[in-house]
Structure 1
Amino acid sequence: MAQIKIDVPFQDIDTIKSLRPGDRVLLSGSIYTARDAAHKRMEEQLKRNENLPFDLQNQVIYYVGPTPAKPGEIIGSAGPTTSSRMDKYTPLLLEKGLKGMIGKGYRSQTVIDSIANNCAVYFAAIGGSGALLARRIKSVEVIAYEDLGTEAIRKLELIDFPCMVINDSEGRDWYKESQEAFKKSSSKT
């Protein structure tokens, strides 16, 4: 199966619409990190009609709290965190222009519906491989909420960061589809 190379932030909606559940993707470009505490602050800022620390338009957020960098490295282990913890904040961010998220695990039906309604995409990165994923991060800059430590918002520059499409812009779900396909193939044997 071929891997699709994509530059982020997204340059056009057609790229997002072309992605299907199960597609293997290599992301290159600028993304931002944010976990629970940062999402809560962003929600609070939006509710006060304040600007966020970065422009959400066509952007991707990676749900990660990287470990401290070892000497000579720019970032420590950078594996994905459980995405469902951000579900209560995600629809608002999607409405404000966010187009992609990277994490691990299932999303709620409310989030899947919001992904479809806002023509966005949810990618999964492989949990447990944070040290390997960190090798695809070429620069790191803390841009907001430094007091949150590992949960501060960081701008990352990626080169061929591997992930997989889980939920596409049509609301399809790779987890559900692959489980159904497995059940069908199992029942034939």
Structure 2
Amino acid sequence: MERYLNAPLKQEDIKSLKAGDYVYISGTIYTARDAAHKRMYEAMLSGNEIPMNLQDNIIYYMGPSPAREGHPIGSAGPTTSSRMDKYAPLLMEHGLKGMIGKGKRSPEVINAIIKNGAVYFAAVGGAGAILSKTIKKSEVIAYDDLGTEAIRKLEVENFPAIVVIDSDGNNLYETVVGAYRTI
């Protein structure tokens, strides 16, 4: 099924998504990779504030290349999600509802997705130049010293992704493998 979503996400939209759905996301999403996740995680464990409100928001696991003249961002492809698995459950406990990346997630992340009514999307790896065309605005909001791993606030329009793990824990990677084995 093809769906159009606005970010931040609404709980009723999340609940209606099913693994395998194609989505087009418009609105505000954030970027963060390993180093930024580690800082946010440590801040939360220490009871300190983090630089963004996680409630109902989406984090895109991406570190962009430098922007070309006249463009808000350079190539913007996903990075491997499993590197954020240590941090993701705590972020979801603090309101994070969506993650965009590529690759499998750990059982702990899948359990946190179910527990917190969240969703995991995949973006197409190797398509960073195409994905960047959906990004209309990019602004570093925290951890500028991390360079490409700084947290960015993005305004996106019809950013394409696929629901890989829905809020019920249905996992596209597992169902596709299972369907393939029956052929």
1:141-166 deviation line (CA, Å, top 9, x unaligned): 00000000000000000000000000
Percent of aligned pairs sharing the same letter? 57
Q: Distance in 1 between matches of 2:164 and 2:83?
A: 17
* Match 1:100 to one of 83, 98, 101: 98
Who is 1:143 aligned against?
A: 141
Who is 1:88 aligned against?
A: 86
Q: Post-superposition shift, 1:48?
A: 1.5
Counterpart check, 1:133 vs 2:131: yes
Q: Distance in 1 between matches of 2:97 and 2:71?
A: 30
Structure 2 residue matching 1:84: 3-state secondary structure: helix
Q: Post-superposition shift, 1:74?
A: 1.1
Who is 1:27 aligned against?
A: 25
* Match 1:116 to one of 111, 114, 117: 114
Who is 1:4 aligned against?
A: 3
1:42-84 deviation line (CA, Å, top 9, x unaligned): 0111011111101000000000000001122110000000000
* Match 1:157 to one of 147, 155, 158: 155
TM-score, length-normalised on structure 1? 0.95
Q: Distance in 2 between matches of 1:145 and 1:122?
A: 24
Q: Distance in 2 between matches of 1:59 and 1:170?
A: 19
Who is 1:181 aligned against?
A: 179
Unaligned runs of 5+ in 2: none
Structure 2 residue matching 1:131: 3-state secondary structure: helix
Amino acid in structure 1 at the alignment position of 2:37: H
TM-score, length-normalised on structure 2? 0.99
Amino acid in structure 2 at the alignment position of 1:86: M
Q: Post-superposition shift, 1:22?
A: 0.3
Q: Distance in 2 between matches of 1:145 and 1:115?
A: 26
RMSD: 0.7
Q: Which has the higher Rg, Structure 1 or Structure 2?
A: 1
Structure 2 residue matching 1:105: 3-state secondary structure: coil
